[in-house]
Structure 1
Amino acid sequence: MKKIIFMTLMLISGITFASAQATNGKKQAEIKFDNLSHNFGTFSEKSPVVTCVFTYTNVGEAPLIINQAIASCGCTVPAYTKAPIMPGQKGEIKVTYNGSGKFPGHFKKTITVRTNGATEMTRLYIEGDMTEAK
């Protein structure tokens, strides 16, 4: 009786392991950014709004969907494509920093990007130096 129970458990374990391996072989999307950071350099408080674009490619085998892109503060606003990006295609995340009402000086902000891809979360960075208006 113990042998039958043992063999049944081994069979169930083997089936579970095989099905887990099969789901890991599933086609997935994969995001690859051209750059993960952007430096605006020095800009004046007179023109406090600066913008950059992060370009990415879906290097996976399934459609890529960006679920959200969230900035570390309200002065930074990311805008991104809501439509799925097919394998091999490119997409963009446009990031705008608004230094109005902020103290001049160096800043560094992050944008957290969440996708349906194999890499579910990626962080992008922007930085720069806003000089005082004279």
Structure 2
Amino acid sequence: MITAAQDQALRTRFVQGTIDGNSISPICRKCNTKNETKNHIASECPALAENQYKKRHDSEAKALHWSNKWYDHQPKRVIENEQAKILRDYGIRTDSVIRVNRPGVTLIDKIKTKVPLIDVAIPGDTRVEEKEWEKMDKY
């Protein structure tokens, strides 16, 4: 469905109501807050964010774990050796309270004693910069 929306192959309510001239409301049938446009369906609808966008996000974060059999790969949530520990979709304890504390991937470098966070986002084309700022502000 997301791919069809991105390819503009969906007859959204917005298209049916405004372009086709049907007497149908252009408002999204899932969230009932904004116009049901292709961008809204692909990356903005809060009702789809709870499940569909999370699946897409997790799939992309999973791809950061390399495997020769990428199509069959099911990465573990925690991988560790003497040099590093990798946590995937794992909550992080912090001194101050932060609203969201589950980055896509956390790399704990035991040698350099650094902890880079890798968080994945898949925004629509018009929201890339907004999403970058949101992620930086969050962490």
Between structures 1 and 2, the one with greater strand share = 1
* TM-score, structure 2 normalization: 0.26
* TM-score, structure 1 normalization: 0.27
